[in-house]
Structure 1
């Protein structure tokens, strides 16, 4: 897993490297500049005029140094210093003097008329308040230049200026970059929207922070990638259907059979050995036809003793998809929560009922996984959606810690938190904004938990694979027309990739 840092966490790692390890700040700056310049060289022509727009802080120093490196290698590069020279950091002053000594062109006015490539080095990760003038005007001018000229590029150093490194929010004005080269580790604001979109294509450059600096200041956030497929529960040849988990899915109501079907099929495709669906009688024939592999129980034939037996049978329980919010269903869900002591996933209407019955939190088993989308999270917390979107990770972390649950806060950039650790998901696409997508995810997480994965690993892995299935489906049938059925179908393709990779057959990343 790859670390994901806040601005404060990154500053601590940087300070420890300088003060305790002894690597000078100027050395780190040179490495950052070299990394930025090397990335740029793969995408620009030697004759393309480059202008670096630099601020007073060390981000500006990174930009000046990168400009000098490009210039000394024969590129047409120069720099413009924005703001008050009295606020230049010592490192930035040194880089400016080195650039001047090397004969790098320095411009006194911001003129983009002759430029094909702009390097944005105005603000780094320390920005926490709205951009003030004249910087706002400079950012707007760069964005307008990009919008009006075909084939030009903006490269941001570390993070697009005006984007919060912690939340991805735009602080007044923000640079809309084509590429971002971030230094050391991914920043939260480069994963969370709208910062993720503002960053364009993002590269992470290793500039030499020692592992000790990371261990001594270990961040709470991380992200998965394809190399983390090994976290899937192990499968052995000497096994049987009971080995891989018995999953109970309490889902569906009259005219809502699809939710139960999607969750059940996704659980099977994720590797569950046995799936039982508890639903309404009205769904019996539909589900037995659509998913004959699943066992079926119906509420109309389930008394308290029968329910206890069904709950005891299960290794993991998923409750909520398509169950509705009737008073009768509320009574059933309360009964389930009081009787069940198994790994639990609560989704969809299960969350909406929970929002109306706060006393039920006391009945939840330890580390229950709750999977709200923004609307459901708003109902659970009483917080408007636009406020939640302002700091997704913080709200997920606070909610998880308060209620001692695992929170999978679903959105364009899903975050998973247990209150101490937070996983930032990078897979998936807008085609997954379709009915049934959340039901598929709930079934996947339940299957992983039933096979023995702890709740946090199951949630992180499930969300990542769910997004990978969405990306595969988008490539095959377009994001615009994607359905939950496509997600389930492509889940098997993604899992085949994991099997091949774990056997060493696929070396791609």
Structure 2
């Protein structure tokens, strides 16, 4: 069965919003599904909802409202926390409606003893666990930890919403978690629920369709940006990525554009290793980039000692822009690639790499159609197969960008005809490199395509067909806010 991570699900939810499908609608569908399951399980009796302050709790509030109109079911809702601190507008909205429904009891718990004193869990015919869902991170705190113990010690049937509370949806270590009879997980199976550990915490898993639109999953949207790793307040220089750009020789602008794009995307340190003939020109573009002159007028094997040292002190290598295709340059590129752990290959570099990629190297390539064909690809429809065979991630540039890591395929529709101007591909390579320092290859490629195209769309509104690659760079931060 196909499965997804919780962060990917968050991106899909946000992309639904981007496309016009409101979170409130998805919450309504999820809650209705929970209510149906409760009705099928008990027919009549007491249903006790244990709800958190996030959207997982919001799903429970919807389900409680639906069940409150069932004459044979008594509904009780225990909110863990204060209603004023419910974290999302959708969940807050649905909680506020409960006061107008036939609910037997509503508690706002600030201490686990309040739930114990109520006697609700011991007398329930079914407990609906909507406490944490996929929002778990780190060690459990109180009162959630004790409430999970109370659910497990109740001896009552338990329905878990999305994942059992306390269970890591990615399949990592578990401190403690609710032991559910059935877990209702929404849209698609969560990765952790397929792990061997899951059997200790849920007897059955049912995947529930809540009406997610297919384009929210297939097309890159603003939701994809929201799951990128956020910079910590206490982060220091270098933690958000050290990027090495290797390019230039016949051309000077290409590596400079890639470097400036990487900086605008959030990389902390960007170093350009360029032939001596263009190093000063590249340095003149910006004082924010570090430029290391190489030995000759083109990249050559005599530079390997310098390049090797630079690779060791950087997180991601972006190579190919403006290098030219001299045989000695291609030979040097083929020697550089095995030294890289993470590498983005663009432009002239694409003609010098050995495929399939060897184990231990994560590679993203960013070809346009003719470069893709030159490496044995056929068309956009072949991208997934090609990526799988060659063990890399492909970002195929076009009117619509096609991205695949061999498993998932995504389409990006941002961008415009004004971006046929030279340099926008170099900008894309720089953005990709910066994101690759903090994200998986597929996430980095998808988000880079979206950011580059969206920044180009903003630039096009001002400049029309006179837009330049530097105009795209200037708009990167607007897209990423």
TM-score range, shorter chain: 0.5 to 0.7
CA distance in 1, matches of 2:367, 2:261: 18
- The answer (yes or no) to whether the contact 2:424–2:469 under 8 Å persists in 1 is yes
Alignment of 1:477 with 2:476, yes or no, is: no
Matched, 1:352 2:347: no
**Which residue of 241, 244, 268 corresponds with 1:245?**
241
**Are 1:468 and 2:446 counterparts?**
no
SS at match of 1:293: coil
Distance 2:398 2:214 in 1: 26
Deviations 1:258-317 (A, max 9, x none): 001100000000000001111110112111111221111223086433322111011001
Aligned partners of 2:246 and 2:319 also within 8 Å: yes
Deviation at 1:427, TM superposition (A): 1.3
C-alpha separation in 1, matches of 2:436 and 2:382:
24
TM-score, scaled relative to structure 2:
0.54
Q: CA 1:217 to 1:269, structure 2 compared with 1: closer, same or farther past 3 Å?
A: closer
The residue matched to 1:427 in structure 2 has which SS? coil
| Partner residue in 1 for 2:273 | 278
Which residue of structure 1 lines up, in the alignment, with residue 50 of structure 2? Answer: none
Match of 1:35 in 2: none
Q: CA deviation at 1:335?
A: 1.4
Query: What is the DSSP-based 3-state SS (H/G/I as helix, E as strand, rest coil) of the residue aligned with 2:330?
Result: helix
Using a 3 Å threshold, how does the CA distance of structure 1 residues 287 and 218 change in structure 2: closer, same or farther?
Answer: closer
Map 1:288-327 → 2, pairs under 5 A: 288-300=283-295, 303-327=303-327
Q: Residue by residue, what CA displacement relative to the aligned partner does 1:420-446 show, whole Å, maximum 9, x if unpaired?
A: 101111211111111111100100010
Q: Contact 2:455 / 2:476 at 8 angstroms: preserved in 1?
A: yes
Alignment of 1:190-229 (within 5 A): 212-213=208-209, 222-229=218-225
For 2:225 and 2:254, how far apart are their aligned partners in 1? Answer: 27
CA deviations on 1:78-119 (whole Å, 9 max, x unpaired) are xxxxxxxxxxxxxxxxxxxxxxxxxxxxxxxxxxxxxxxxxx
Three-state SS of the structure 2 residue aligned to 1:292 is coil
For 1:234 and 1:220, locate their aligned partners in 2 and report how far apart those are by CA, in whole Å: 22
Deviation at 1:234, TM superposition (A): 0.8
Residue in structure 1 matched with residue 230 of structure 2 by the alignment: 234
Distance in 2 separating the partners of 1:211 and 1:430: 42
The answer as to 2:449 corresponding to 1:449 is no
2: distance between equivalents of 1:471 and 1:217?
Answer: 25
Q: Which residue of 2 aligns with 1:56?
A: none
Secondary structure of 1:300 counterpart: coil
Check conservation: 2:338, 2:361, Cα contact below 8 A. Answer: no
Give the SS at the match of 2:307: helix
Which residue in 2 is equivalent to 1:429?
416
Which residue of the other structure, out of 484, 494, 506, is the alignment partner of 2:479?
A: 494
Conservation of the 8 A alpha-carbon contact between 2:350 and 2:371: yes
SS at 1:407's partner residue?
A: strand
Gaps in structure 2 of 5+ consecutive residues = 1-10, 16-32, 34-186, 188-205, 297-301
- Please report how far the alpha carbon of residue 227 of structure 1 lies from its aligned counterpart in structure 2 after TM superposition: 3.4
* Cα distance in 2 between the residues matched to 1:433 and 1:329: 27
Q: Is the 8 A contact 2:256 2:282 kept in 1?
A: yes
* Number of equivalenced pairs: 278
Alignment of 1:119-130 (within 5 A): none
Are 2:336 and 1:336 equivalent residues in the alignment? yes
* Alignment pair present for 1:459 and 2:437: no
Summarize the Cα distance change of 1:430–1:311 in structure 2 as closer, same or farther, 3 Å threshold.
same
Instruction: Summarize deviations over 1:426-471 as a string: whole Å, max 9, x none.
Output: 2111111111111001000100112x21111111111111111011
Change (3 A) 1:363 1:278: farther
1:410 and 2:405 are equivalent in the alignment: no
Q: 1:214 to 1:416 in 2, by over 3 A?
A: farther
Equivalent pair of 1:220/1:420 in contact (CA under 8 Å): no
**Structure 1 vs Structure 2 CA RMSD:** 2.9
Structure 1: unaligned runs, 5 residues or longer? 5-20, 22-184, 186-209, 499-509
Report the CA distance shift for 1:466/1:219 in structure 2 as closer, same or farther (over 3 A): closer
Cα contact 2:419–2:467 (8 A) shared by 1: yes
In 2, are the aligned partners of 1:366 and 1:404 still within 8 Å (CA)?
no
Give the 3-state SS of the residue equivalent to 1:249 in structure 2: strand
**Map of 1:379 onto structure 2:** 374
Normalising by structure 1, report the TM-score.
0.51
Residues 419 and 434 of structure 1: CA distance in aligned 2, closer, same or farther (over 3 Å):
same
- Deviations for 1:42-89, whole angstroms, at most 9, x for unmatched residues? xxxxxxxxxxxxxxxxxxxxxxxxxxxxxxxxxxxxxxxxxxxxxxxx
**Alignment correspondent of 1:194:** none
Note closer, same or farther for the CA distance 1:487–1:364 as it changes in structure 2 (3 Å cut).
farther
Equivalent position to 1:396, from 373, 383, 388: 383
Structure-2 separation of matches of 1:305 and 1:368: 22
**SS state of the match for residue 362, structure 2?**
coil
CA distance in 1, matches of 2:307, 2:334: 12
Q: 1:300 to 1:425 in 2, by over 3 A?
A: same
TM-superposed CA distance for 1:364, in Å, is 7.0
Answer whether contact 1:224 1:464 (CA < 8 A) is retained: yes
